[in-house]
Copies of this chain bind each other. A is one copy, B any other.
Amino acid sequence: MTDSRPIVLTGDRTTGPLHLGHYIGSLVNRVALQDSHRQFLLLADAQALTDNMGNYLKVRDNVLQVALDYLAVGIDPAKSTIFIQSLVPELSELASYYLNLVTVARLERNPTIKDEIRLRGFERDIPAGFLTYPAAQAADITAFRATVVPVGEDQIPMIEQTNEIVRRFNASVGQEILVECKAVVPRVGRLPGFDGKAKMSKSLGNALPLGASPDAIRQAVKMMYTDPNHLRVEDPGQVEGNVVFTYLDAFEPDTAMVEDLKARYRRGGLGDMVIKKQLEARLQALLEPIRTRREDYARDPAQVMAILKDGTARAREAAAQTLDDVKRAMGLNYF
* CB proximity of A140 to chain B, nearest CB, Å: 12
Q: Mark A25-65, 1 if CB is under 8 A from B, else 0.
A: 00000000000000000000110011101101101100100
> Judging by beta carbons under 8 Å apart, are B334 and A100 in contact?
no
**Residue A335 contacts which of B132, B309, B331 (CB distance < 8 angstroms)?**
B309
CB <8 Å contact, A331 and B101: no
Q: In chain A, residues 89-103, which have Cβ atoms closer than 8 Å to a Cβ of chain B?
A: 89-90, 92-93, 95-97, 99-103
Chain B residues with CB under 8 Å of A1's CB are none
Question: Does A327 make an interface contact (CB < 8 A)?
Answer: yes
**How far, in Å, is A94 (CB) from chain B's closest CB?**
9
The yes or no answer to A86 lying at the interface (CB within 8 A) is yes
Is chain A's binding surface mostly helix, strand, loop or mixed?
Answer: helix
When the two chains form their complex, are residues A124 and B101 in contact, meaning their CB atoms are under 8 A apart? no
Copies in the complex: 2
A173 at the interface (CB under 8 A from B): yes
B59 close to A172 (CB less than 8 A): no
Answer yes or no: A127 CB below 8 A from chain B CBs: yes
Instruction: Tell me the bound Cα distance from A84 to B93 in angstroms.
Output: 14
Contact call A97/B49, Cβ cutoff below 8 A: yes
Closest to A327 in B: B86
Q: Which residues of the partner chain B approach A125 to less than 8 Å between Cβ atoms? A: 103, 105
A and B contact pairs by CB, cutoff 8 A, 6 listed: A50-B100, A56-B331, A96-B136, A101-B129, A102-B127, A132-B132
Tell me if A250 counts as interface (CB < 8 A to partner B). no
